[in-house]
Structure 1
Amino acid sequence: MIATLVADHVRWRRDRRERDRDTLRTTFTEYLAALSTARDAFARMEPSPDRVGKGHVAVGEHGVYAAQQQLELVAQRTLVDKAGSATLSVLDFHDTVVAGHAPDSSEYVRAWRAARQARTALIEEMRIALQRT
Protein backbone atom coordinates (compact mmCIF):
# COMPACT_ATOMS: atom_id res chain seq x y z
CA MET A 1 0.00 0.00 0.00
CA ILE A 2 2.80 2.43 0.86
CA ALA A 3 4.59 1.57 -2.37
CA THR A 4 1.41 2.38 -4.31
CA LEU A 5 1.05 5.72 -2.54
CA VAL A 6 4.69 6.60 -3.22
CA ALA A 7 4.34 5.60 -6.88
CA ASP A 8 1.15 7.67 -7.20
CA HIS A 9 2.85 10.67 -5.62
CA VAL A 10 5.85 10.38 -7.93
CA ARG A 11 3.53 10.12 -10.95
CA TRP A 12 1.51 13.11 -9.74
CA ARG A 13 4.66 15.23 -9.34
CA ARG A 14 5.92 14.23 -12.79
CA ASP A 15 2.55 15.06 -14.37
CA ARG A 16 2.43 18.40 -12.57
CA ARG A 17 5.93 19.33 -13.75
CA GLU A 18 4.93 18.45 -17.30
CA ARG A 19 1.77 20.58 -17.09
CA ASP A 20 3.80 23.47 -15.65
CA ARG A 21 6.33 23.17 -18.47
CA ASP A 22 3.53 23.10 -21.07
CA THR A 23 1.95 26.19 -19.52
CA LEU A 24 5.27 28.03 -19.61
CA ARG A 25 5.98 26.95 -23.19
CA THR A 26 2.55 28.10 -24.36
CA THR A 27 2.82 31.43 -22.55
CA PHE A 28 6.33 32.02 -23.90
CA THR A 29 5.24 31.21 -27.43
CA GLU A 30 2.23 33.52 -27.27
CA TYR A 31 4.33 36.42 -25.98
CA LEU A 32 7.07 35.94 -28.57
CA ALA A 33 4.51 35.68 -31.37
CA ALA A 34 2.78 38.90 -30.30
CA LEU A 35 6.10 40.71 -29.96
CA SER A 36 7.27 39.55 -33.40
CA THR A 37 3.96 40.49 -34.99
CA ALA A 38 4.20 44.00 -33.55
CA ARG A 39 7.84 44.43 -34.58
CA ASP A 40 7.15 43.21 -38.11
CA ALA A 41 4.12 45.50 -38.42
CA PHE A 42 6.18 48.44 -37.21
CA ALA A 43 8.85 47.71 -39.83
CA ARG A 44 6.21 48.32 -42.52
CA MET A 45 4.83 51.56 -41.05
CA GLU A 46 5.05 54.83 -42.86
CA PRO A 47 6.78 57.77 -41.20
CA SER A 48 4.39 59.77 -39.08
CA PRO A 49 6.05 62.12 -36.57
CA ASP A 50 2.77 62.56 -34.67
CA ARG A 51 2.91 58.84 -33.74
CA VAL A 52 6.34 59.09 -32.05
CA GLY A 53 5.91 58.11 -28.42
CA LYS A 54 2.58 56.40 -29.10
CA GLY A 55 3.94 52.93 -29.74
CA HIS A 56 2.35 51.65 -26.55
CA VAL A 57 -1.04 51.90 -28.25
CA ALA A 58 0.19 49.94 -31.27
CA VAL A 59 1.89 47.35 -29.05
CA GLY A 60 -1.37 46.88 -27.19
CA GLU A 61 -3.26 46.43 -30.45
CA HIS A 62 -0.95 43.55 -31.35
CA GLY A 63 -1.63 41.78 -28.05
CA VAL A 64 1.84 42.25 -26.59
CA TYR A 65 0.66 43.65 -23.27
CA ALA A 66 -1.95 40.92 -22.81
CA ALA A 67 0.65 38.24 -23.52
CA GLN A 68 3.13 39.98 -21.22
CA GLN A 69 0.58 40.01 -18.40
CA GLN A 70 0.07 36.26 -18.81
CA LEU A 71 3.84 35.87 -18.65
CA GLU A 72 3.93 37.84 -15.41
CA LEU A 73 1.57 35.31 -13.84
CA VAL A 74 3.66 32.22 -14.56
CA ALA A 75 7.30 33.27 -15.01
CA GLN A 76 10.06 34.24 -12.62
CA ARG A 77 10.99 37.89 -12.10
CA THR A 78 14.21 37.74 -14.17
CA LEU A 79 12.31 36.47 -17.18
CA VAL A 80 9.54 39.04 -16.73
CA ASP A 81 12.19 41.78 -16.57
CA LYS A 82 13.74 40.57 -19.83
CA ALA A 83 10.30 40.50 -21.44
CA GLY A 84 9.81 44.10 -20.33
CA SER A 85 13.13 45.02 -21.92
CA ALA A 86 12.11 43.28 -25.14
CA THR A 87 8.83 45.19 -25.20
CA LEU A 88 10.63 48.49 -24.62
CA SER A 89 13.08 47.74 -27.42
CA VAL A 90 10.17 47.15 -29.81
CA LEU A 91 8.65 50.43 -28.66
CA ASP A 92 11.95 52.17 -29.43
CA PHE A 93 11.96 50.51 -32.85
CA HIS A 94 8.42 51.81 -33.45
CA ASP A 95 9.51 55.35 -32.62
CA THR A 96 12.53 55.04 -34.91
CA VAL A 97 10.37 53.96 -37.85
CA VAL A 98 7.60 56.52 -37.40
CA ALA A 99 10.20 59.25 -36.91
CA GLY A 100 11.13 58.62 -40.53
CA HIS A 101 14.46 56.82 -40.25
CA ALA A 102 15.05 54.75 -43.37
CA PRO A 103 15.86 51.03 -43.10
CA ASP A 104 19.45 51.71 -44.15
CA SER A 105 20.01 54.46 -41.56
CA SER A 106 22.18 53.87 -38.51
CA GLU A 107 19.26 54.73 -36.19
CA TYR A 108 17.01 52.12 -37.78
CA VAL A 109 19.71 49.45 -37.78
CA ARG A 110 20.59 50.23 -34.14
CA ALA A 111 16.93 49.99 -33.05
CA TRP A 112 16.37 46.77 -35.03
CA ARG A 113 19.49 45.18 -33.54
CA ALA A 114 18.52 46.23 -30.02
CA ALA A 115 15.10 44.63 -30.46
CA ARG A 116 16.68 41.46 -31.82
CA GLN A 117 19.26 41.31 -29.00
CA ALA A 118 16.59 41.82 -26.33
CA ARG A 119 14.51 39.04 -27.90
CA THR A 120 17.55 36.73 -28.04
CA ALA A 121 18.34 37.36 -24.35
CA LEU A 122 14.71 36.70 -23.49
CA ILE A 123 14.64 33.44 -25.44
CA GLU A 124 17.77 32.26 -23.64
CA GLU A 125 16.12 33.01 -20.29
CA MET A 126 13.02 31.13 -21.47
CA ARG A 127 15.11 28.09 -22.36
CA ILE A 128 16.68 28.13 -18.91
CA ALA A 129 13.25 28.38 -17.28
CA LEU A 130 11.97 25.43 -19.30
CA GLN A 131 14.98 23.33 -18.31
CA ARG A 132 14.40 24.14 -14.64
CA THR A 133 10.76 23.14 -14.76
Structure 2
Amino acid sequence: MGTGLGAAVGIGATLFAERSRWKRDQFSKEREVRRQLYAEYLAALSRTRNQLRDIARSPDLPADERAERAGERFRSGGAYELRHQMAIVAPEAVVGPSERALRRLRDLSDSLEAGAVHPEERWTTGHAAFGDALEELRTAMRKDLHAAP
Protein backbone atom coordinates (compact mmCIF):
# COMPACT_ATOMS: atom_id res chain seq x y z
CA MET A 1 0.00 0.00 0.00
CA GLY A 2 2.84 2.39 0.79
CA THR A 3 4.39 1.71 -2.61
CA GLY A 4 1.09 2.48 -4.36
CA LEU A 5 0.66 5.70 -2.40
CA GLY A 6 4.23 6.71 -3.18
CA ALA A 7 3.66 6.02 -6.86
CA ALA A 8 0.44 8.07 -6.84
CA VAL A 9 2.20 10.99 -5.15
CA GLY A 10 5.06 10.74 -7.64
CA ILE A 11 2.69 10.69 -10.63
CA GLY A 12 0.72 13.60 -9.18
CA ALA A 13 3.87 15.64 -8.66
CA THR A 14 5.03 14.90 -12.20
CA LEU A 15 1.66 15.90 -13.66
CA PHE A 16 1.66 19.09 -11.60
CA ALA A 17 5.17 19.96 -12.77
CA GLU A 18 4.23 19.28 -16.41
CA ARG A 19 1.11 21.42 -16.10
CA SER A 20 3.13 24.26 -14.57
CA ARG A 21 5.71 24.03 -17.35
CA TRP A 22 2.97 24.00 -20.00
CA LYS A 23 1.33 27.12 -18.50
CA ARG A 24 4.69 28.89 -18.36
CA ASP A 25 5.39 27.97 -22.00
CA GLN A 26 1.93 29.13 -23.07
CA PHE A 27 2.41 32.45 -21.30
CA SER A 28 5.80 32.91 -22.97
CA LYS A 29 4.37 32.11 -26.40
CA GLU A 30 1.43 34.49 -25.94
CA ARG A 31 3.73 37.25 -24.75
CA GLU A 32 6.00 36.72 -27.77
CA VAL A 33 2.99 36.96 -30.11
CA ARG A 34 1.97 40.25 -28.46
CA ARG A 35 5.55 41.56 -28.56
CA GLN A 36 5.79 40.84 -32.28
CA LEU A 37 2.40 42.41 -33.00
CA TYR A 38 3.27 45.48 -30.93
CA ALA A 39 6.52 45.91 -32.85
CA GLU A 40 4.71 45.60 -36.19
CA TYR A 41 2.00 48.06 -35.14
CA LEU A 42 4.50 50.64 -33.87
CA ALA A 43 6.52 50.26 -37.07
CA ALA A 44 3.40 50.79 -39.19
CA LEU A 45 2.40 53.88 -37.20
CA SER A 46 5.92 55.32 -37.45
CA ARG A 47 6.26 54.51 -41.15
CA THR A 48 2.96 56.23 -41.90
CA ARG A 49 3.85 59.25 -39.75
CA ASN A 50 7.18 59.62 -41.55
CA GLN A 51 5.49 59.44 -44.95
CA LEU A 52 2.94 62.05 -43.87
CA ARG A 53 5.74 64.26 -42.53
CA ASP A 54 7.48 64.09 -45.92
CA ILE A 55 4.28 65.29 -47.56
CA ALA A 56 3.86 68.08 -44.99
CA ARG A 57 7.39 69.26 -45.75
CA SER A 58 6.60 69.58 -49.46
CA PRO A 59 4.75 72.91 -49.55
CA ASP A 60 5.30 73.25 -53.31
CA LEU A 61 3.21 70.14 -53.89
CA PRO A 62 -0.23 71.15 -55.24
CA ALA A 63 -2.95 70.89 -52.57
CA ASP A 64 -4.97 68.27 -54.44
CA GLU A 65 -1.90 66.07 -54.92
CA ARG A 66 -0.92 66.53 -51.26
CA ALA A 67 -4.42 65.45 -50.20
CA GLU A 68 -4.34 62.42 -52.49
CA ARG A 69 -0.90 61.34 -51.28
CA ALA A 70 -1.85 61.79 -47.62
CA GLY A 71 -4.89 59.55 -47.96
CA GLU A 72 -2.92 57.01 -49.96
CA ARG A 73 -0.06 56.90 -47.43
CA PHE A 74 -2.47 56.51 -44.53
CA ARG A 75 -4.25 53.62 -46.23
CA SER A 76 -1.06 51.87 -47.35
CA GLY A 77 0.90 52.26 -44.09
CA GLY A 78 -0.44 49.04 -42.59
CA ALA A 79 -1.57 50.37 -39.21
CA TYR A 80 -5.25 50.39 -40.11
CA GLU A 81 -5.23 46.65 -40.82
CA LEU A 82 -3.11 45.78 -37.78
CA ARG A 83 -5.58 47.50 -35.46
CA HIS A 84 -7.92 44.53 -35.90
CA GLN A 85 -5.21 42.16 -34.67
CA MET A 86 -4.55 44.53 -31.77
CA ALA A 87 -8.24 44.39 -30.82
CA ILE A 88 -8.13 40.58 -30.72
CA VAL A 89 -4.72 39.91 -29.16
CA ALA A 90 -3.96 42.86 -26.87
CA PRO A 91 -5.57 43.51 -23.49
CA GLU A 92 -7.93 46.48 -23.19
CA ALA A 93 -5.21 48.48 -21.42
CA VAL A 94 -3.31 48.43 -24.75
CA VAL A 95 -6.25 48.46 -27.18
CA GLY A 96 -7.49 51.85 -25.96
CA PRO A 97 -4.15 53.62 -26.45
CA SER A 98 -3.62 51.83 -29.79
CA GLU A 99 -6.96 53.16 -31.09
CA ARG A 100 -6.15 56.68 -29.84
CA ALA A 101 -2.77 56.63 -31.60
CA LEU A 102 -4.41 55.54 -34.84
CA ARG A 103 -7.06 58.28 -34.52
CA ARG A 104 -4.36 60.92 -33.97
CA LEU A 105 -2.54 59.61 -37.04
CA ARG A 106 -5.79 59.81 -39.00
CA ASP A 107 -6.22 63.40 -37.75
CA LEU A 108 -2.73 64.16 -39.05
CA SER A 109 -3.60 62.73 -42.45
CA ASP A 110 -6.88 64.66 -42.47
CA SER A 111 -5.06 67.92 -41.70
CA LEU A 112 -2.83 67.37 -44.74
CA GLU A 113 -5.87 66.63 -46.87
CA ALA A 114 -7.34 69.92 -45.61
CA GLY A 115 -4.23 71.82 -46.72
CA ALA A 116 -1.97 71.92 -43.65
CA VAL A 117 1.79 71.98 -44.24
CA HIS A 118 4.83 72.04 -41.98
CA PRO A 119 5.41 74.29 -39.97
CA GLU A 120 1.79 75.53 -39.76
CA GLU A 121 0.12 75.22 -36.38
CA ARG A 122 -2.47 72.74 -37.70
CA TRP A 123 0.35 70.40 -38.63
CA THR A 124 2.55 70.90 -35.56
CA THR A 125 -0.38 70.58 -33.14
CA GLY A 126 -1.54 67.36 -34.79
CA HIS A 127 2.00 66.00 -34.93
CA ALA A 128 2.48 66.70 -31.21
CA ALA A 129 -0.87 65.04 -30.37
CA PHE A 130 0.19 61.95 -32.30
CA GLY A 131 3.54 61.91 -30.48
CA ASP A 132 1.76 62.04 -27.12
CA ALA A 133 -0.60 59.22 -28.14
CA LEU A 134 2.32 57.15 -29.39
CA GLU A 135 4.16 57.56 -26.08
CA GLU A 136 1.02 56.53 -24.17
CA LEU A 137 0.79 53.44 -26.38
CA ARG A 138 4.45 52.50 -25.87
CA THR A 139 4.03 52.83 -22.10
CA ALA A 140 0.96 50.55 -22.13
CA MET A 141 2.78 48.00 -24.28
CA ARG A 142 5.85 47.96 -22.03
CA LYS A 143 3.62 47.50 -18.99
CA ASP A 144 1.76 44.62 -20.65
CA LEU A 145 5.01 42.91 -21.60
CA HIS A 146 6.52 43.58 -18.16
CA ALA A 147 9.39 45.40 -19.84
CA ALA A 148 11.53 48.03 -18.17
CA PRO A 149 10.63 51.63 -19.08
- TM-score of the pair, normalised by structure 2: 0.77
Residue 44 of structure 1: aligned partner: 54
> How far apart in 2 are the matches of 1:34 and 1:43?
14
Residue 64 of structure 1 corresponds to which residue in structure 2?
79
The answer for the alignment partner of 2:105 in structure 1 is 90
Identity of aligned residues (%): 28
Structure 1's unaligned 5+ residue stretches are: none
Which SS does the other structure have where 1:44 is aligned?
Answer: helix
Asked if residue 2 in structure 1 is aligned to residue 17 in structure 2, the reply is no
Q: Are the equivalent residues in 1 in contact too, given 2:51–2:73 (CA < 8 A)?
A: no
Which protein shows a greater Rg? 2
Per-residue deviation, 1:6: 1.1
Work out the CA distance in 2 between the residues paired with 1:53 and 1:127: 35
* Matched ranges for 1:26-45 at <5 A: 26-45=36-55
Where does residue 23 of structure 2 map in the other structure?
13
Q: Distance in 1 between matches of 2:70 and 2:102?
A: 10
Q: Deviations over 1:11-35 (max 9, x none)?
A: 1111011001101101111111111
1:112/1:28 Cα in 2 relative to 1: closer, same or farther (>3 Å)?
same
Moved more, 47-56 or 108-117: 47-56
Does the CA contact (< 8 Å) of 1:86 and 1:122 recur in 2? yes
For structure 2, the 5+ residue unaligned runs are 1-10, 56-60
Aligned to 1:73: 88
| Structure ranking higher on relative contact order (CA contacts 8 Å, 6+ apart) | 1
Partner of 1:113: 128
- Cα offset for 1:101? 2.8
- What SS does structure 1 have at the residue aligned with 2:116? coil
